[in-house]
Amino acid sequence: MAINNEKEVISCSKEVGVIVEAKEAQISTGPSQEEAANKIISDTVLSLPSHAILDLLSIGVCTRCIFRLFGVRGQIYSSSLLSPTIFAPLIQKSNGSDVDEHSKGLHSPQESEFCSICLGILQFSFIKEKQNLEKGELINSVSEEIAKFIKQEGHEIDSFSLEVSIPPIILANECSVWLYLKKKYGSEIWFEDKFHAEHFTVKDAFKLAITSSLETLLTAKSEISSSSRIRLNYTHSKASLNLESFVERDQNCKRRKTENSVDNADGANVKRGAECSEQSNGETDAAIQRSLSRLQDHAFCERFKSPPEKVNEPCKLEIICNRAPIYIGGRYLKYSRNVSQSRWLIDDERKGEASVEEIIGGNILPICRGDNYKFHAAGREDIDVRMLGSGRPFLVEIQNARHVPSEVSIGEMEEKINSLREKLVRVRNLQVLGSEGWTLMREGETEKQKQYAALVWISRPLEDEDLQTITSLMDMCILQKTPVRVLHRRSPLDREKIIHWMKIERMVGSQQYFLLHLCTEAGTYIKEFVHGDLGRTYPNLGSILKCRAEILQLDVTDVKMDCFN
């Protein structure tokens, strides 16, 4: 391409992308994939302005970053053929007779050890946590490191989403290179408006480069909505120091302006103060972008070198694999009056012999190989109340599970819990759920009804008339103030609750003891309904029977909800 004839220079940021996409579409019909890839790369290189390419190589910009800046898109970034040698024809050309004034004085460039823009990320070089350098132009070097980490951590995945975090200094490096090119080539056709606006980001190019090899190594598909997230955190503390100090100075400057003009009647400076407050939470990419965007070209050049300095150390790479929480749902039954629902400690002393949470969660977590678990239940019973009948719905939220149990595993899990020697807790209908299980349980929790059986003593003999009185009361509304026993941890409120029905079951050989069966609205305090709680619940069983009533034992016999039946 005769670079001294501007009419022959392609508007790269627009047309190169079209060339690459069109060529890639022809790969399947060509002689071989490697030959087709060679042809795409060759055509792309020849479509770029050679004098600018040689200039970028001389200041240490890597091959993929050069393509990015010129708007090249597509699977070309995953090609193992991308290396500085692809620009050999341009180097030969620059050393020949066909050299214009822009190329005079340029020698054959030698690419710096690590890219002055991406800091080696698109060269697939990195420092691992143990500070040993992984260097080379091999895409698989990163992919293999990720696959190795996933295997070591024991993650079982069938799909993944890839997230990449890069040092914010890369944003400044791109601005620096762009200003450098603008100063030298801003008047040329290929550098017009779309050159910088349509460039491909480091993150996008990196994902395109490694996704295919990563899918092969993990035998898993890349899906944006996957519950398994692989996150790559690239950091470069040395290269970021200047940028951090710049952002800090920028924020301090804005704070001073805000403090000096907070009384401004038009409110403009107050708004800027709120923006500054938002940024002060940390040097995020967004904050840095805002800080850089406020700079004029000359101000940027005063603070940053243009072009940026070459770097002799790549980024440090941290790999994190995390699965979105999985939920194991079911119903539990509690047979002991000395087992709390959740772990109960007072002054480091355990109350009760165990907890439902620990018995169930402690047996599920090792099977799922998760980091931790949270136990959620549809309501709760007191430590001295048994949970009988069909059981209470619950969810165990497993955080970062390495293994998602199959139906067979779930059956084994259920059998393991139910076979525990103490027989304190039993589970039924276990199943693996997504977040919909949480929604299902919460939707039904506010509308559920609960049935109880209470052992009651009254201060006088029970009469037949009492049975009829109790049975006749249907959907009776009561008013309950927050019980005295829970006032230390609950807000003092008045609650209207409904007693749907009641019936009395006599006990053989006793005139003052009986079983009270009742069905109530969720959230009703049953103990207080029986004894009245010093008049804080009214009407109550004692006021209805016109005597003193005390509750001795209580069992939940049914939780009427549709989930996990």
Three-class SS state of 5? coil
Residue for token digits 């070459």? 310
Calpha distance 142→162 (Å, rounded) = 13
Calpha distance 44→28 (Å, rounded) = 19
Calpha distance 33→222 (Å, rounded) = 22
Which uninterrupted H or E stretch holds 66? helix 63-69
DSSP 292-357: HHTS-HHHHHHHS-SSPPPBSS--EEEEEEEEPPEEEEEEEEE--SSEESS--EETTEE-SSEEHH
DSSP 19-42: HHHHHHHTGGGSS-HHHHHHHHHH
Calpha distance 420→430 (Å, rounded) = 16
Please check whether residue 306 is in contact with residue 176, taking contact to mean a CB–CB distance below 8 angstroms. Answer: yes
DSSP 441-468: HHHHHTT-EEEEEEEEEESS---HHHHH
* 382 annotated active-site: yes
Nearest to 380 by CA among 433, 351, 343, 421: 343
Query: Which residue of the set 382, 464, 494, 558 is catalytic?
Result: 382
Give me the amino acid identity at 259: E
**Residue 86: CA count within 13 A, CB half-sphere:** 24
Alpha helices in 198-267 (DSSP H): 202-218, 237-260
Instruction: Report helix, strand and coil shares of the chain as percent, to nearest 5.
Output: 40, 25, 35
Cis peptide before 393 (omega within 30 of 0): no
Nearest to 393 by CA among 433, 355, 445: 445
Residue for token digits 């951090």? 244
Calpha distance 248→227 (Å, rounded) = 37
545 vs 458, 474, 520, 522, 549, CA distance in Å?
A: 9, 16, 19, 24, 8
- What token pair was written down for 525? 């305090």
Q: Which residues are catalytic?
A: 382
